[in-house]
Amino acid sequence: METRVLKLSSVKAGGSAGVHTLKYRLGLPSQWVKAMGLDGAEQDLLVGFDGTQITIRKNLTSQIDQFLAEAVAGNHKVWEYHYYNGNALCSRIVADFTACAIRVENQPDTLLIHTAFGATEDPAWSDFIGFLEERCVPRKREGIADYLATLGVESYDPVAIVSATQGRMAEDQQWLEVVEPW
């Protein structure tokens, strides 16, 4: 990791800010900006602060939204899932069932243990199916046929089960909101 000493500048904040309020700016080396794949057209970056360190990341929202738009434009079967811990949105997942591809966007201040795929930023389709299956009752559970019939699901299909149960499990607060297919 390359490190540099950079100058932090301050200016008086305008608008409705208080009289003594300051705004801070930091210039970034162009090589770093280019290495992040930024070209200056991006206006929004994800910036996090953990109390001691500031992190700057490319805004993945535009990437996930672009993925969604391209899949919909190609008439693919696309579903969007919002993964929650209690009432807090942790991850947004867009699944393209035609291309068997997904994109994930984790919310900035979410603990990795509460995100859908932990530290994995580019999960594979098999990871997605495995994730859904983890949010279902076990395949070999006694009485599984009766359980599936109660749900109105014909066979053990993690996608259908999660759609019926929101992926809720008795042992945690995580659940999935299944957004209508595109």
pLDDT tens for the chain, residues 1 to 182: 788 999 989 888 777 777 788 888 888 888 888 887 777 666 677 777 778 888 887 665 668 888 998 899 899 999 999 999 999 999 999 999 999 999 999 988 889 889 999 988 899 999 999 999 999 999 999 999 999 999 999 999 999 999 999 999 988 999 999 986 66
Q: Which amino acid is at 182?
A: W
CA distance 103 to 160: 20
Two tokens at 133? 């299956």
Two tokens at 62? 């535009």
Every domain of the chain and the residues it spans: 8-58, 61-179
| pLDDT value of residue 91 | 95
| pLDDT value of residue 182 | 64
Element (H, E) at 73: helix 60-73
Please compute, for residue 99, the number of CA atoms within 13 A of its CA located in the half-sphere on the CB side. Answer: 18
Global pTM reads 0.66
CA distance 128 to 126: 5
**Could you tell me whether strands 88-96 and 54-58 are parallel, antiparallel, or unpaired per DSSP bridges?**
unpaired
| pLDDT value of residue 160 | 95
Q: Residue 61, Cβ neighbours under 10 Å: how many? A: 12
Q: What angle do CA 106, 130, 110 make, to 5 degrees?
A: 20
